[in-house]
Amino acid sequence: MILSNLELNGVLCPKCHWKAFRQTETCLRCGNSVDQTVFRGLGKIHTYTVIRYPPCGFEDESPYVVALIDLDEGPRIIGRIQSTHRSIDAGATVRLVGKRGDAFDFAIE
């Protein structure tokens, strides 16, 4: 899978190794200044739901799965899980496969 234009930008603290999927200039754990980093886009589903009553603009897509994903590097992210014949469950390995607007799409590996 080619991840062109698909970057999960986050921060990494060189001192205490705190990593986060958020924009900040200082480490929220130790106060050191942080470096920019890019996460690989591989992770595991922490928890998920199936949206059956969507907000405006998403009506044509429902039902769809949204999950909290623990990236292999540590940080947690929220994203859509693309529909698949594979069963979805907490702990399943997922990979970043796309982006729609500001939202990240993952697929079960």
Partner 1 sequence: MASLRGVAIIGAGMASVSVTSGKTLAQLFVDAATKAIEDSGVGRIDSIYVGNMLSGFLQNQEHLGALMATALQREGVPTYKIEGACASGAVAMNAGIKAVLSGLEDIVLVGGVEKMSGYSTSEVTEGLMMAEDRIRVASTGVTFVGLNAMIAREYMRKYDVRHEMIAEFPVLCHANALDNPYAQFHKKISVQDVLASPLVADPLRLYDCAGIGDGAAVIILAPLERVHEFTESSIEVLASIVATDSLSLYQREDITSFQASKTASRLAYERAHIKSEDVDVLEVHDAFSMLGIMALEDLGFAEKGSGVRMVVDGECARDGKLPTNTFGGLKARGHPVGATGLYQIAELVLQLSNRSGKCQVPNANIGLSQSVGGIGGTVALHVLKRCD
Task: Give the distance, in angstroms, between the CA of residue 86 and the centroid of all CA atoms in the same chain.
Answer: 19
**16 binding partner 1? (CB under 8 A):** no
DSSP-based three-state secondary structure for 80: strand
**Residue 25-44 contact track with partner 1, rule CB under 8 A, x = bound:** --------------------
The interface region with partner 1, picked from 1-9, 10-18, 32-40, 46-54 by CB under 8 A, is 46-54
- The answer to whether the CB of 8 falls within 8 A of the CB of 104 is yes
d(CA 53, CA 55): 7
Q: Which of 25, 53, 85, 87 binds partner 1 (CB under 8 A)?
A: 53
CB of 1 to partner 1, least distance (A): 20
Distance in angstroms (rounded) separating the CA atoms of residues 97 and 94: 9
72 vs 83: CA distance, rounded Å: 22
Q: Is residue 68 within the footprint of partner 1 (CB under 8 A)? A: yes
- CA dist 105 and 109 (Å) reads 13
* Identity of the residue, 25 or 102, whose beta carbon is nearer to partner 1 in the bound complex: 102
> Site residues (CB under 8 A) for partner 1?
20-22, 46-59, 61, 64, 66-68, 76-80, 90, 100-104
